[in-house]
Structures are given as C-alpha cells and as structure tokens.
Copies of this chain bind each other. A is one copy, B any other.
Amino acid sequence: MSISSINARNQFRGRIKEIIEGPVVSEVDIETPAGLVTSVITTRSVHDLELRVGSEVIAFVKATEVSVAKL
C-alpha cells in the first residue's frame, strides 16, 4: 500500500542504528539529523516491515503525543 501523506506532522527521517528485539515489542533506534530517536513497536511489525540496521525510515509522532517542558 502506498500512502501519499499522513497527518503525523512531526516526522524525522533517518537510518536504523540498532534494533533490540524482544518477544512482543522491539526497540528501534534511528539516527536522524535531530539526534537519536527511539521507537518501541511490535516485533511483528519489525518483521512485517523487514526493518534492519541500515534501513531508511521515518519516525513520526502525533502532535497530541508531544509534551512540552520549560527550561
């Protein structure tokens, strides 16, 4: 399936640096110009998407999930 655009406004393009695979969920660490972005997704998705170290991916989050802290 090809998707032309998504509403997740916060997108970070990068390359997978590391995958820590668990029995149910896996941690996917993505090197982006913004620094390391970490995602936890189902291990089944890791396999379905054929994610590997080096894969080019986009990490994204909904704006409603982003918290703000003041310095």
Contact = CB atoms under 8 A, between A and B. Distances in A.
Given A38-B42, A62-B41, A67 B24 contact: no
- Chain A residues touching B, majority SS: strand
A60 B8 CA distance: 11
Interface residues of A, number: 57
A24 to B, nearest CB: 4
Given A6-B67, A33-B33, A57-B69, 20 more contacts: A3-B71, A5-B69, A6-B70, A7-B46, A9-B38, A10-B38, A12-B35, A20-B23, A22-B23, A24-B26, A39-B67, A50-B70, A51-B70, A58-B68, A58-B69, A59-B68, A61-B65, A61-B66, A61-B67, A62-B64
